[in-house]
Amino acid sequence: MGQASTTSIGLGLGNLPVALVPGHVGTQSRQELVDNILGTTLDHVVQNLTIPPTAATLAEDPAPRDVVFSGTIDEINRLFTENQWSDSLPVVPPTMERVEAFLEFTDRDPNEVLAILLPDSRAATVWSVAVNGVMAGCRPEYMPVLVALIEAMGDPDYGVEHSGNTPGGETLITINGPIAKQLRFNDEQGVLRDGFQPNTTVGRFWRLVLRNLAGFLLHQNDKCTFGNTWRVVLAENEAVLDKLGWTTMAEDLGVSKGGNAISIARYTGSGLIASASGNTGDKILPYLADGVLKQNTWHLVFTIGTSPGTLRPLIVLSPIVAETLAKDGWDKERLRQYFFDHCRMPAYEFERYLGEWTEHPIRNLQDQVNLQRAPEVFAEGTDPNRLVPIVFKADDFMIGVSGDPLRNHAITFAHNGILGYPVAREIGLPENWEAKLRATR
């Protein structure tokens, strides 16, 4: 009920009447559901159709450059926490001077609207990006990265409106190009650990924007059942990629080679694949494929179901694993094909995830192929033990390279499908970028 009333404001329906269905439909018997609908929901529907709703009232926001408070650092942080403008960690006060320092690192007009972000339908301007960048503890020179991130967040393919869905997926930001080294993003040991200022603060910025601009608040319209903490930014190890002749993740998403870019996708969890032993692909890859397969269970609804063909599992290899595979003749294309051929499960198990264990009534893969909602590979025979893939095609697997250069580990991420589809954006740099950057050093 709270989610419905909160979200309706952003959709322009501030007094939308809603009717309650008690409990969760997925845990009720048919009779319980009938009793609840007839005993509660029906009355609410009748009331909503016969009694005019109360007039909608909207709180008036301060103007972008209004000074809303002056005080000590403790008082400012208390104010931000009480108004739910922060993640309850201390913020850097976004004073006029600090915000203007960020604007020095973009040629965009401060009032330019980069995106309209659901569910609040707020305008994300260059100015508001700078404000949240200050609060997150970013440095001013990160501003081009922050602007590109908001442009990606506003892409309909990404689907920012799903950021509060119940599985509680969290976005992983990946950065590519020379700017990653210029801004000193960590791309080696501890790449996904907080502690390096650019990786950490840019990751925190993403969650602050979801709160302050998109409007996702816990106990309102952020309905994650458990949730995840925001992720730090992953920088790919491009020195290793160049040596191997492999493409970057940004290139795989359509960015030109050597371009500065960020890419985003939402994942519900990750699994470490430790100590991938062996000196050939035949020895290493069965272990990696097993780890990827075990990470994807209910996510199969994004392969066949909610949004057919949108599952994009991610595997990040440590440099030494990538180098070992490349020395044995493996490139990214061949690796993706291997995962497609070997990340498979019996058809009956695939169907059980969708039609029996979860709330997605898809019970027969053959029917989905007949309805042209799945490719023929899912209906090659009728044996329930036949092996079927977890994605539509080999290119659906995403592969990155980062982490400790001397550890033979990998990590795989379970993708949230159309509820956070991969999107990339090039990072635009201001005039005199090199000079501005040198001045900050």
Half-sphere exposure of 191 (CA within 13 A, CB side): 29
Q: Which residue has the higher pLDDT, 133 or 56?
A: 133
pTM check: above 0.75: yes
Half-sphere exposure of 301 (CA within 13 A, CB side): 17
For the cut 90, the answer to whether the pLDDT of residue 236 exceeds it is yes
The answer for residues whose C-beta is within 8 angstroms of residue 414's C-beta and 6 or more apart is 267, 268, 269, 270, 271, 295, 296, 299, 313
Tell me the C-alpha distance between 204 and 278, whole Å: 37
Beta bridge partners of 314: 398, 413
For the cut 80, the answer to whether the pLDDT of residue 396 exceeds it is yes
Beta bridge partners of 415: 267
pLDDT digits (tens, 9 = 90+) for 144-182: 999 999 999 999 999 999 999 999 999 999 999 999 999
Please report the pLDDT score of residue 346 as a whole number. 97
Confidence of residue 62 (pLDDT cuts 50, 70, 90): confident
Half-sphere exposure of 127 (CA within 13 A, CB side): 13
Tell me the C-alpha distance between 147 and 218, whole Å: 25
Please report the pLDDT score of residue 306 as a whole number. 87
Please report the pLDDT score of residue 111 as a whole number. 97
pLDDT digits (tens, 9 = 90+) for 22-54: 988 888 999 999 999 999 999 999 999 999 888
Q: What is the mean pLDDT of the chain?
A: 94
> Is the peptide bond preceding residue 64 cis, with omega within 30 degrees of 0?
no
Q: What is the 3-state secondary structure (H, E, C) of 238-269?
A: HHHHHHHCCCCHHHHCCCCCCCCEEEEEEEEE
Other residues' Cβ atoms within 10 Å of the Cβ of residue 118: 21
Tell me the C-alpha distance between 299 and 289, whole Å: 16
pLDDT digits (tens, 9 = 90+) for 263-317: 999 999 999 999 999 999 999 999 999 999 999 999 999 999 889 999 999 999 9
Per-residue pLDDT averaged across 73-93, rounded? 96
Per-residue pLDDT averaged across 385-396, rounded? 98
Tell me the C-alpha distance between 404 and 409, whole Å: 8
Phi/psi at 95 (5° precision): -70, 160
For the cut 90, the answer to whether the pLDDT of residue 55 exceeds it is no
CA dist 95 to 124, 212, 370, Å? 18, 17, 60
CA dist 112 to 108, 151, 256, 427, Å? 7, 12, 26, 16
- Strand, coil or helix: 423: strand
Left (φ > 0), alpha (ψ -120 to 50) or beta: where does 184 sit? left
DSSP state of 358: S
For the cut 90, the answer to whether the pLDDT of residue 356 exceeds it is no
Tell me the C-alpha distance between 54 and 68, whole Å: 30
DSSP state of 278: -
Residue type, 24: H
Tell me the C-alpha distance between 159 and 166, whole Å: 15
Confidence of residue 16 (pLDDT cuts 50, 70, 90): confident
pLDDT digits (tens, 9 = 90+) for 361-381: 787 999 999 999 999 999 998
